[in-house]
Copies of this chain bind each other. A is one copy, B any other.
Amino acid sequence: MPEVWFEDFTVGREFRTPAVTVTDADILEFARRFDPQPFHVDALAAAQSPYRGLIASGLHTIALTFRLFLDSGALAVASLGSFGLDEIRWREPVRPGDTLSVVVEVVAARPSASKPDRGIASLRYRTVNQRGETVMTMVGHQFVRRRP
């Protein structure tokens, strides 16, 4: 991908990420560390839960989504971090063997009021599985350097 600076985050532009397949082991490892609820860490309990089987922690889905966006290269040269996320919604379960990729659309872009070297790009993330189902959506706000 050619270098992406603040000026390149034009409203409506879409970025597409690579894909990643989520394994049983990935789900268990993340959840044991950060979200050890029965339906994330115990296949038997998960089978008897309303989710009828093991599902990934939603926090894991957020982390994978952002990693995929980094892997797209869009933040490779100009990212200065982020101040927040909004409207995270988990819409479908992520199960072992699912393959996720992300469509990231620029929904707003404004220069920083206080720092002339940067702007703020607001990005709508839509994470989809191998059946084209949207499993998660969220909006993130990214500090991005202006083109030097």
Contact = CB atoms under 8 A, between A and B. Distances in A.
A33 B49 CA distance: 29
Given A51-B81, A87-B84, A67 B34 contact: yes
Main secondary structure of the interface of A (DSSP, over half): mixed
A15 interface: no
A81 B101 CA distance: 23
Chain A interface residue bracket vs B: 20 to 34
Nearest to A51: B81
Nearest to A26: B33
A87 B86 contact: yes
Contacts of A21: none
A115 to B, nearest CB: 9
